Amino acid sequence: MSVVTTLNLMGHTEAALRHYQDALGAETLFLMRFRESPDQSHTRAGMEDLIFHATFRVLDTVIMASDVGYEDSDSKPTFAGFSLALQMDSPVVAKRAFDALADQGQVVVPFAESKFTSWYGIVIDRFGVSWKLNVNATGG
């Protein structure tokens, strides 16, 4: 048994996958559009090219994403009460990822040296997903 995070991106999944590929080196492992779904009960007119299901990998973690729940072009994803935490080995690589995630997003805690770990920062990306980036030079 496992738990896999699924991001319901409300019509923004394709853009998010591209952004995470550029920002984090994410790899899309699987992608199915609504028009390709064997169960068309979720598909409304105009949704055919949106993402029914996608699976992508960031570092060693698999995350799923979908446009299920999409209402209209004004729909905005909302995420609260959690963050995706990236444990990274290099402050240079982590800073590059932090800055890319912050592009059109919101910096909550600037990426900087920390008293409880080597480097740390929190950013909410342009899709509303909260990311905590941590670099621990001692490997913990």
What is the rounded distance in angstroms from the CA atom of residue 69 to the CA atom of residue 58?
Answer: 24
Question: Which CATH number do you get for residue 119?
Answer: 3.30.720.110
- For 140, the token pair is 């913990």
Domain limits for position 37: 6-66
The answer to the question of residue 1 being in a domain is no
Question: Which CATH number do you get for residue 11?
Answer: 3.10.180.10
The answer to the question of residue 73 being in a domain is no
User: Residue 116: exposed, middle, or buried by beta-carbon count in 10 A (0-12, 13-18, 19+)?
Assistant: exposed
**pLDDT (tens digit, 9 = 90+) per residue, 41-94?**
777 888 899 999 999 999 999 999 999 877 766 777 889 999 999 999 999 999
- pLDDT given for residue 136 in this prediction: 83
The answer to the question of residue 23 being in a domain is yes
Quick one: 62 and 15 in the same domain?
yes
In 3D space, the residue among 42, 22, 5 whose CA is nearest the CA of residue 130 turns out to be: 5
The pLDDT confidence band at residue 31, using thresholds 50, 70 and 90, is very high
> In the chain, how many domains are there?
2
Beta bridge partners of 45: none
